[in-house]
Amino acid sequence: MFATIMKMLLRRLLVAIPTLLVVAALLFVVLRLLPVDPAAMSLPPNATNDEVAAMREAMGLNRPLPVQFLIWLGQLLSGDFGMSIAFRRPVWDLVSEALPATIELAFLSMIVATVVGVAGGLLAFYFRDRTAEAAIDFSSIVVLSLPEFLWALMLMLIFGVWLQWLPFMLRLDPQFERPVITGFLLLDTLLAGRPDAFMSALRHMILPVMALGISASPAIMRVLRSSLLDTYQEDYIHQARLRGLDERRVLLRHGLKNAFLPTLSLMGVQFGFLFGGTLLVEVIFSYPGLGNLMIDAIRNVDLPVIQIVGLAYCIMVLVISTVVDMLYLVLNPKLRVR
């Protein structure tokens, strides 16, 4: 099985390289459509025309577009991600501070989406052909019709503003100092031996995680239910029933176990969408991740940051789909003997 996984990873890597090259080219071309001069923007406003011209020369802006792209690519490969125009800091620093926050948010949301989606799928299947199924089905359409950023706003309004149960700004209560060890706040607070700070960070994540998790769950629920319907056509289900197992046991031990794999294979794409959804949810909760960085960069037409953050999103989506595929291989019993 180890060999199978390695083979899959290698194949994924071989596909990922040209994909990312095309993505980088796409980002580069789209952002060059802008009627702004990156040279003038990276200089102080009182720069002379000669200085701007010299900067254009230095940045390679006088060369043809493909050459400019290759220069940029060469810089990326040599680890030079450029300077942010608005923040006057290396783009790499900004991204490496924001990325762990977004990963934490996305990861917890995926867990919630899976739990809610699987529970919903099991319930909808368990009550199939009854009124309860229609109710669950109908509510899944309702949930789907509220996009994640509106879920975020509504949860914020109800649990943050009205009931005042949960915080809805930033990541920590102001009395806590932020420990920086790995960059992942939840992990860092634990490593620093501050369970109180950990609880504060966790409480700050509940609303954004719920917003993302709930809005991603109906898709998982629906796939699981239809996959369970397929599974129940199989002989082993009848066999399990004939052996006298009660319905719940048949469902959990035999149904879910077999129906989960096809569901998992579709969750890769789903989680890719979820990762994109973090963008606005972060903005709404002032959560300092990639999404807020992206929106700040867009407001300031901060091209170097927009490009790298865009690329970071794509890399994360590729990583997520690879991890999900890996999980599929690990959990697939057909590959266990090899």
Where on the chain is the footprint of other proteins (CB under 8 A)?
15, 19-20, 22-23, 26-27, 30-34, 141-142, 144-147, 149-150, 153-154, 156-157, 161-162, 219, 222-223, 226, 266, 269-270, 272-273, 275-277, 279-280, 283-284, 294-295, 298-299, 301, 306, 310, 313-314, 317-318
Nearest residue to 206 (alpha-carbon basis) of 151, 167, 245, 247: 167
* 3 state DSSP class of 83: strand
**Between 26 and 335, CB nearer to other proteins:** 26
Nearest residue to 152 (alpha-carbon basis) of 276, 272, 282, 270: 282
Backbone angles phi, psi at 264, to 5 degrees: -60, -40
Q: Least Å distance between CB 120 and other proteins? A: 12
Report yes or no: 288 and 253 within 8 Å, Cβ to Cβ.
no
**Between 41 and 245, CB nearer to other proteins:** 41
**Between 240 and 305, CB nearer to other proteins:** 305
Apex CA 288: angle with CA 283 and CA 292, to 5°?
A: 40
The H-assigned helical ranges of the chain are 2-32, 38-41, 49-59, 65-77, 91-126, 131-144, 148-155, 185-191, 195-231, 235-242, 247-249, 257-284, 290-299, 303-331
Q: Least Å distance between CB 66 and other proteins? A: 18
Q: Least Å distance between CB 273 and other proteins? A: 5
**Between 100 and 268, CB nearer to other proteins:** 268
Interhelix angle 131-144/91-126, nearest 10 degrees: 160
Dihedral in degrees, nearest 10, Cα atoms 148, 153, 158, 159: 80
- Number of CB atoms found within 10 A of residue 40's CB: 14
**Between 112 and 306, CB nearer to other proteins:** 306
The residue with tokens 């700070």 is 197
Q: Least Å distance between CB 84 and other proteins? A: 15
Q: What six digits make up the tokens of 163?
A: 């009931």
Q: Least Å distance between CB 240 and other proteins? A: 26
**Between 54 and 146, CB nearer to other proteins:** 146
Q: Least Å distance between CB 50 and other proteins? A: 29
**Between 4 and 19, CB nearer to other proteins:** 19
Q: Least Å distance between CB 158 and other proteins? A: 10
Terminus-to-terminus CA distance in the chain, angstroms? 6
